[in-house]
Structure 1
Amino acid sequence: MAQPLTDEERVLLETPDEEIHEKYKPLSFDTKRFKERITIGEPWQQLIQTHLYLDHTISLMIADALYKPSAINTGRMGFVQKLQLVEGMGLLRDDVISAIRVVNGLRNSIAHDLNFEISETDVRNVVNAIPKFLREIMKAEKGRPKGPLSFVEALTVLTHLIHRRCREGLAGVV
């Protein structure tokens, strides 16, 4: 069951990308560049790009949350270990962690099978893994056509939530 959004989460998700980017320019990835990269290429390329951004952001999230971040070298940790650490520290909601796991599983399929193609079922699995509150936020975007999220929209809204959570350093779980 989806957990309701807190006031802090609502404010964070309603803040324009430009405002967050400007506020955290030295610390954050370029959201404009992310959008450019995520909308080009084949679905497997879009997924790999997303995974790279998720890995980067999760590493930053861990460093921000630790009292002594230099004690843990996240560069030597695998993605699954980083995600387990984030989960163990309670930095992300369970439904968000689950969605990231689906993305990671698909990325692993691509990495271990050079002929792997993302199917319509894979796309549906990713879209359905996105927590309902995130799907609703994306569906409410101005000018967005009616209907289910696209693959790119699902990957984008997941990555943006985690990026914003990391950069805002909000107390509580997003």
Structure 2
Amino acid sequence: MNIDHEQVAKRVIELSGGKDKLNREMDGKLEKITEKWNQDVDAIGRILRAHLFVEHFVTECLLSFNPKLGDIKEARLTFAQKITLIESYSEETKELSKGIRRLNKIRNQLAHNLAGTVTDQDKESLLSVTSFKALRNELAKPGVPSDDNLVVLEDFAKHVGGRLASLADPDSLAKRFEQVFNELDNKT
């Protein structure tokens, strides 16, 4: 079939109500497309980096807890499934999982609406992980830690990465946290 593209273009313009109407329609659609393209790439990158960073350490933790697990990549577990598997390992992973789930929710929202946003509610959810908030506050003294939502998200990701990486190391920070939790349990 031999198509006359010039005739096709003329007919499309005609069906659209003329050149001016078609141009306005196309400009409106281009504006919507451009709006979706012109997102805050810095925020998007920071959210994705935090999520990928935490997922790396969640996976590392899974392998450490279960040395005979096999090829975890072949299992094609979702991030949420990985969190479910590690959260029952200890009180520490259980506590961290609430914030990790919130980080996953933030990343999923990004995937669905292309907007890199960390809300005040997201920040408060991450700060509700009490060991994170307390350590963050203590490390910032005599100052105070940043209140910026994205900074809190990144600080949380680094905190989780460090804590999960430590769980695999017997002489780690995680063991010190575990010791403190055990000491507190023994006092009650």
Q: What TM-score results when the alignment is normalised by the length of structure 2?
A: 0.56
* Partner amino acid, structure 2, of 1:86: I
Moved more, 97-106 or 144-153: 144-153
Distance 2:51 2:87 in 1: 17
- In terms of fraction of residues, the more helix-rich structure is 2
Q: Name structure 1 gaps, 5 residues minimum.
A: 1-40
Structure number, greater radius of gyration: 2
Does 1:66 pair with 2:66?
yes
- The count of corresponding residues between Structure 1 and Structure 2 is 132
Distance 1:74 1:148 in 2: 40
Distance 2:113 2:102 in 1: 17
Distance 2:72 2:91 in 1: 16
Deviation at 1:60, TM superposition (A): 0.4
- Paired residue for 2:126? 129
Residues 74 and 166 of structure 1: CA distance in aligned 2, closer, same or farther (over 3 Å): farther
Deviation at 1:57, TM superposition (A): 0.8
Native 8 Å contact 1:102 1:126 kept in 2? no
Deviation at 1:72, TM superposition (A): 4.2
Does 1:158 pair with 2:139?
no
Identity of aligned residues (%): 16
- Paired residue for 1:51? 51
Q: Name structure 2 gaps, 5 residues minimum.
A: 1-40, 179-188
**Aligned ranges for residues 1-174 of structure 1 at < 5 Å?**
42-70=42-70, 72-73=72-73, 76-90=76-90, 92-114=92-114, 116-118=115-117, 122-130=119-127, 131-142=129-140, 145-146=143-144, 149-168=147-166, 169=168
Native 8 Å contact 2:54 2:160 kept in 1? yes
* Partner amino acid, structure 2, of 1:113: N
- Output the aligned Cα RMSD: 3.1
* Partner amino acid, structure 1, of 2:162: R
Q: What TM-score results when the alignment is normalised by the length of structure 1?
A: 0.60
Q: Report SS of the residue matched to 1:69.
A: coil
Distance 2:43 2:81 in 1: 25
Residues 151 and 75 of structure 1: CA distance in aligned 2, closer, same or farther (over 3 Å): farther
Residues 91 and 68 of structure 1: CA distance in aligned 2, closer, same or farther (over 3 Å): farther
Residues 103 and 158 of structure 1: CA distance in aligned 2, closer, same or farther (over 3 Å): same
* Partner amino acid, structure 2, of 1:132: T
Native 8 Å contact 2:99 2:126 kept in 1? yes
Distance 2:50 2:74 in 1: 18
Native 8 Å contact 1:64 1:166 kept in 2? no
Native 8 Å contact 1:99 1:129 kept in 2? yes
Distance 1:147 1:161 in 2: 14
Q: Report SS of the residue matched to 2:70.
A: helix
Distance 1:73 1:90 in 2: 24
Residues 70 and 152 of structure 1: CA distance in aligned 2, closer, same or farther (over 3 Å): same
Deviation at 1:143, TM superposition (A): 6.9
* Partner amino acid, structure 2, of 1:129: L
